[in-house]
Structure formats: C-alpha cells, structure tokens
Amino acid sequence: MCSFVSFVFQKNHPTDFYNFCVLNKKTMSISDQIQSFNHEKQTAHAFHFQYIAEILTQKGIDIQAVIEKIKAFQVAIPSWALGTGGTRFGRFPGGGEPRSLEEKIADVGLLHQLTQSANSISLHIPWDIPRNPAALKNQLKSLGLTIDSVNSNTFQDQPDQPLSYKFGSLAHSAAAVRQQAIDHNIACIEHGKALDATVLTVWLADGSNFPGQQHFRRAWQRTADALGDIYQRLPANWTMLIEYKPYEPNFYAMVIPDWGTSWSLCQHLGQKAQVLVDLGHHLPNTNIEQIVARLMHFGRLGGFHFNGSMYGDDDLTTGSIKPYQFFLIFNELVDAMDDPAVKNPPLAWMIDASHNSKDPLEDLLQSVQNILTTYAKALLVDRKALAEAQENNDVVAAEELLRAVFATDTRALVAEAARQAGGAIDPIGVFRNAKIREKLIQERGLNSVATGL
C-alpha cells in the first residue's frame, strides 16, 4: 500500500467506529452502513487504487487532479427512472417503488448518498407537479439535491385536457392545440421556477406515421413559432433544451428527428436554446461522437441523456452495450470541455433510462458507475500526443493511444473519488448489504406505483 493510500484510510476509518457499526448493523444509518462497508472493502480497494495510481503517476498524470474532476461530475436522475419501466407487452415491478414526488426525491437522495455523484433530479410535468414547493425545497436541501430540469409532456393526453395530442402538439394543424401545448410548457416553467430550476427540456412526439399525413415545412414552421412563444416566457437565466429523436412514437417522420433540426430550431430561437443529445435517439451505427463534437464546436450542446442502446431508444443501462463508442463520445466531450477555444455552455447531464428486468435503483447505480469510469478514461487521454498523431496523420498511433486508455481499468479511481467525498466504494454492495430494497418494500408495499410511463 502506498503511503498516501494508507494515510487516507486510517484517517477516515478508525477501527472503533467500524466495530460500532458492525455491532449495531440492524440500526445503522445509511451513512454508517457506507462507512462500515467501505472499511470491509478497504484492503482490496487500496490494492487496486495503488496499482492504477502508480501506473498513472509514472505517466506524469496528477492523480488527485483527476479524482477532483470525477468528484465534481454530477449526473441528474430523472424522476421517471425510479420505478420499474416496461414495454407495451408488460411491466414487472419489483416493489417498493416511490409513490409520490417526495419519495422520488428520497430515492435520488439515497443514490446521491451512495455515489456522491447524483445531486439533482429531473421532473416530468404533469407526473411530478410540485404541490408544496416550500416543503420540497427543504427536502431537496436536506439531501443536498437540486432540480436539474423540468420536462414537458405533450406526448400523452391527460384526463382533464380539453384537446387531444393524437395528431401532435406544437406542430399540430390546429392553432388551439398548439396553444394548449404552449400553455403547458409555460406552466412547466412556472412549476420549475417555484423549485429554483433553470432548465426546460422539450421533447416532442409530433410527427406522422404515413407518407402525406403531415406537411414537412409547415410542421417545422409551426414548431418554431410555438417554441418561440415558449422561449419568450423563459426567464433570463434559463435554458431551453430541444431533444431530437429519429422515430417513435411516430414511425414515418418525426418533426424533430435529428440534431440538425434541433440545431435549426435553436438558431431560430436564440442563445438560451440548446440541443439535447439522448444517446438512444440515433439510428444504428450513427457516429454520435462526431455529432457531439460538431455541436460543441458550434457552442450548441446543452444537455445529455445517458442510456444504453442496441437498436434504438432501448433505454438500457448506460455503457452496457457499446462501451467503446461510449468512451469515444466522452472523449469528444472532454476534448471540447478542456479546450478554452470552445465556447460551449456547461452541460446538463442526465440518465434517461427505463428498467423492466432490473431493480431500478441498482440499474441507476450501474449507470452512474459506468458514466464515471468512462468519464475518468476520457480524462486520461493524452490530448497533446493525440493531436500530434492526428496532425502527423499517424493513424495507428492515434488509434492505439485511444485504445490503450479505453483498456485502462478506472474503477479504483471512481471508488476513491466516492470514498473521499463520503460515498461508497461499492454502492451496489451497500445497497444490497443494507437491504435497502427490502426496506423500501416494507415501507411502500409490493404494489406501489410511481407516476410516469
């Protein structure tokens, strides 16, 4: 064990504290459980951390600087990923799902406590209308959380809604439907303001299922005009994120199918409008890393929805299917974020996933872990050497450089960042060891249902 590692462990984990935790396991708080489990994992973690620390130090990398960047990276959790997702063929909930906005916030608080990297929650309106903003703000504050974004929903009809979105919302042929959707987005801004949010995310399901059904140019113009009305109501410090998606629920054409259309709408609206990239919103084999680089070059990448995808909007665990592509995407993000010449605003990071076969909280913990380990890899890329290889057209050197970083196991760096921040070396281990799901089932029941899809 290197002296740095043994020093930090001794400092933060005195043995008598550990004994106290083990003896009182049944009544231990989550933070005590984290410390206790960290202590159990200490030796193995120290071994792995020392190994990577030595390799990277030899390469001249400032380990603590990398760890500080990992600690600073925070990803939002969407309120709708906390319950079991499903497909149109069924849903198989595992119990203990949050039944209210307060319980959703509590779940995100737990994820943040475990990882120290999930300090905000995204709301979907009307699923998450804040009934008592003052109390919610207190709850958020006590858990160290903020609101990441408010997301409007004009893809479903609500029971009390006068006009239907069956044929679209902001792009609808009828002005009255467009106005209803505009008003809904403005109401979202108001709900967000009450909770100190600063981001409105707009994803439109508008489009057509059959050729000839919708006039493409009129649909774009109606959307642009309607978004303009919403944009006018956006407070000065707010951002409007415009999310694209190539298909689903419409299968012939979506009104905002790609980054180019999102970008064109942002150009039309103004600087507070930004493109949102959802990893699952691309056709197979799309070069997402290039899209990300382009958008950041234009200063127009505002938000990111993480998930894993095999075919389309599969909403699987982030990094579970195409880890190399995920690394290449992060490589472009970090490259642009580190370049002072790039004038892109800070990004709103969020996990947008859905779960049918896993415990939603465990799945989110896996996603956070994969995001952080991949981000850590991107931080290790020798940008100068890569640029040199690129400028000299040394194809093999450039590729090998990236492949070597991709093959580096960064899990100990992420574990060390969490440990230093007061989180868990092994978040899923703590979740299971502390029997958190079992306790949630006891508290909320087996058939509790979260509002959402």
Q: Which is nearer to ligand PSV, 301 or 425 (CB)?
A: 301
Q: Cβ closer to Mn ion: 48 or 305?
A: 305
Which one of ligand PSV, Mn ion, none interacts with residue 107, CB within 5 to 8 A by kind? none
37, 49, 80, 238: residue in contact with ligand PSV (rule CB under 6 A):
80
Q: Which is nearer to Mn ion, 352 or 416 (CB)?
A: 352
Segment near Mn ion (CB under 5 A); pick from 148-156, 275-283, 315-323, 407-415: 275-283
Given candidates 128, 148, 289, 313, which one binds ligand PSV under the rule CB under 6 A?
Answer: 313
Does the protein bind Mn ion through residue 313 (CB under 5 A)? no
Q: Tell me if 278 contacts Mn ion by CB under 5 A.
A: yes
Minimum distance between the CB of residue 279 and Mn ion, rounded to whole angstroms?
9
**Amino acid identity of 405?**
V
Minimum distance, C-beta of residue 82 to ligand PSV, in the bound complex (Å): 13
Interaction residues for Mn ion, span 323-362 (CB under 5 A): 352
Determine the interface stretch with Mn ion among 151-159, 207-215, 297-305, 438-446 (rule: CB under 5 A). Answer: 297-305
Nearer to Mn ion, 37 or 306 (CB): 306
3-state DSSP of the chain:
CCHHHHHHHHHHCCHHHHHHHHHCHHHCCHHHHHHHHHHHHHHHHHHHHHHHHHHHHHCCCCHHHHHHHHHHCCCEEEHHHCCCCEECCEECCCCCCCCCHHHHHHHHHHHHHHHCCCCEEEEEECCCCCCCHHHHHHHHHHCCCEEEEEEECCCCCCCCCCCCCCCCCCCCCCHHHHHHHHHHHHHHHHHHHHCCCCEEEEECCCEECCCCCCCHHHHHHHHHHHHHHHHHCCCCCCEEEEECCCCCCCCCEECCCCHHHHHHHHHHHCCCEEEEEECCCCCCCCCHHHHHHHHHHCCCEEEEEECECCCCCCCECCCCCCHHHHHHHHHHHHHHHCCCCCCCCCCEEEECCCCCCCCHHHHHHHHHHHHHHHHHHHHHCCHHHHHHHHHCCCHHHHHHHHHHHHCCCCHHHHHHHHHHHCCCCCHHHHHHHCCHHHHHHHHHCCCCCCCCC
Residue 315 or 416 with smaller CB distance to ligand PSV:
315
From the list Mn ion, ligand PSV, none, partner contacted by residue 313 (C-beta under 5 to 8 A by kind): ligand PSV
To ligand PSV, the closest distance from the beta carbon of 286 in angstroms equals 16
How many residues would you count in the chain? 453
Considering only the stretches 156-164, 223-231, 273-281, 435-443, report the one whose residues sit in contact with Mn ion under the rule CB under 5 A.
Answer: 273-281
Q: List the one residue out of 46, 148, 55, 196 whose CA is nearest residue 352.
A: 148
Interface residue with ligand PSV among 35, 115, 149, 151 (CB under 6 A) is 151
> Which positions from 226 through 285 interact with ligand PSV, judged by CB under 6 A?
243, 245, 278
> If binding is defined by CB under 6 A, does position 453 make contact with ligand PSV?
yes
CA triplet 434, 440, 445: central angle to 5 degrees? 145
Give min distance, CB of 367 to ligand PSV, in A: 14
Residue of 210, 311, 227, 211 lying closest to 261 (CA atoms) = 227
CB of 305 to ligand PSV, least distance (A): 6
Q: What is the dihedral of CA 353, 357, 362, 368, to 10 degrees?
A: -30
Q: How far is the CB of 153 from ligand PSV (least distance, A)?
A: 7
Interface size with ligand PSV, residues (CB under 6 A): 10
Of 67 and 351, the one with the shorter C-beta distance to ligand PSV is: 351
Q: Footprint of ligand PSV on residues 26-65 (CB under 6 A)?
A: none
CB closer to ligand PSV, 203 vs 330 = 203
Smallest distance, ligand PSV to C-beta of residue 280, A = 7
CB 452, min distance to ligand PSV, A: 8
Residue 109 CB, nearest distance to Mn ion (Å)? 23
Nearest residue to ligand PSV on Cβ basis: 203
End-to-end CA distance of the chain: 49
Which lies closer to ligand PSV via its Cβ, residue 34 or residue 197?
A: 197
Rounded distance, CA 284 to CA 295, Å?
Answer: 20
**Cα separation of 357 and 248, whole Å?**
22
Q: Which residues pair with 303 in a beta bridge?
A: 276, 348
Nearer to ligand PSV, 278 or 362 (CB): 278
What does 128 interact with, of ligand PSV, Mn ion, none (CB < 5 to 8 A by kind)?
A: none
Give the binding site for ligand PSV (CB under 6 A). 80, 151, 203, 243, 245, 278, 305, 313, 352, 453
Give the binding site for Mn ion (CB under 5 A). 278, 305, 352
